[in-house]
């Protein structure tokens, strides 16, 4: 039985680990990031892969810096290392360790969207299609030869959460379909076309703020491309408001970008760039829970009023 070391950290990685654990391969070690403080109370919380591995009875290793601490991986003598959103680069000595190399499950159609946030950027950039790539790992980030790919249409109602779930399931199945060919030496890995490489670095705080001068479609993609995390926001009367859902609309009542042009029938309409507009569908005022805009308008302290300009940060 081939011995596999699995390396992953977030929810995206869990279906891949579970698929390997339930296959004919032996997962001899799960490597994941250390437990981190989480939430307002800073409770030390294990990453999802640690929880899943322990439920599966798989030993867990959590190095703070993999480049300086990977001896436990060498000791289990893996035939193959599989990574899926692990979160640290592998040192060359580790890449060269297994007889069958190291392969990565990446959530994009490489060479597009290399980096740590490919699912977010697929939606932020308004792409109609994304997918999963199984690739050999190389020293350069996400630049290894492609072993197999499977595409997925991005639906208009998809957000990061739904796409994340779909792609993790596809990744698990594609990996299991690919591994027998890999172990038989029956794969033809294809080098990536560097001229077509694009990048999807981790989301910055500045990218979460809505720029109302952009078009309605761009703001629609920004909102769903940041949902359910980290969530887009805007400012109103000195308060930050999270924007969970918007809908582009046709309107003749154009205003300045960010201006609330109407509040009626449970709907708040905001002007965007190019004389376009969106309706706010779901919001989360500061200190409040996530709610439909209609429910918010039924409250007693309303700060969304016609003529107000959204977008002035605190």
Alpha-carbon span 197 to 44, nearest angstrom: 37
DSSP 259: B
Return the H-helix or E-strand segment holding 10.
none
Q: Tell me the Cα Rg of the chain.
A: 23
Sign of CA dihedral 27, 29, 33, 39: positive
CB within 8 A of 68, min separation 6: which ones? Answer: none
The helix/strand/coil state of 64 is coil
Of 275, 277, 269, the residue nearest 297 (C-alpha): 269
Look up tokens 């007889």; give the residue: 99
Does 13 appear as a known binding residue?
A: no
| DSSP-H helix ranges across the chain | 14-21, 48-56, 71-75, 92-95, 118-124, 160-183, 205-208, 216-224, 293-297
Does 108 appear as a known binding residue?
A: yes
Does 110 appear as a known binding residue?
A: yes
Count of residues making up the chain? 314
Q: Which residues are annotated as a binding site for (6S)-5,6,7,8-tetrahydrofolate?
A: 108-111
Q: Which residues are annotated as a binding site?
A: 108-111
């Amino acid at each position: 039985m081939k011995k596999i070391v699995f390396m992953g950290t977030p929810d995206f990685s869990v279906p891949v680990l579970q698929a390997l654990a339930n296959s004919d391969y032996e997962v001899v070690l799960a490597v994941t990031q250390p437990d981190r403080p989480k939430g307002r109370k800073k409770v030390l919380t294990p990453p999802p892969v640690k929880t899943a591995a322990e439920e599966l009875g798989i030993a867990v290793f959590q190095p703070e810096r993999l480049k300086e601490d990977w001896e436990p991986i060498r000791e289990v003598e893996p035939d193959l290392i599989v990574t899926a959103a692990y979160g640290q680069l592998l040192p060359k000595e580790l890449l060269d360790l297994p007889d069958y190399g190291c392969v990565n499950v990446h959530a994009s159609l490489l060479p597009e969207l290399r980096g740590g946030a490919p699912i977010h950027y697929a939606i932020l950039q308004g792409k109609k299609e994304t997918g999963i790539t199984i690739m050999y790992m190389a020293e350069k980030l996400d630049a290894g030869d492609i072993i197999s790919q499977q595409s997925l249409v991005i639906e208009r109602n998809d957000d990061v959460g739904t796409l994340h779930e779909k792609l993790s399931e596809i990744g698990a199945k594609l990996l299991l379909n690919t591994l027998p060919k890999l172990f038989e030496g029956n794969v033809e890995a294809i080098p990536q076309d560097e001229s077509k490489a694009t990048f999807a670095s981790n989301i910055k705080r500045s990218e979460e703020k809505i720029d109302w001068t952009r078009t309605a479609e761009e703001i629609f993609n920004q909102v769903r491309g940041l949902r359910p995390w980290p969530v887009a926001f805007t400012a109103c009367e000195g308060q930050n408001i999270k924007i969970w859902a918007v809908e582009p609309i046709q309107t003749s009542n154009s205003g300045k970008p960010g201006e609330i042009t109407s509040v009626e029938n449970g709907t708040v309409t905001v002007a965007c760039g190019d004389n376009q507009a969106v309706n706010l569908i779901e919001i989360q005022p500061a200190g409040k829970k996530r709610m439909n805009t209609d429910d918010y308008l039924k409250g007693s302290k309303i700060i969304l009023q016609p003529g107000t300009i959204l977008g002035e940060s605190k």
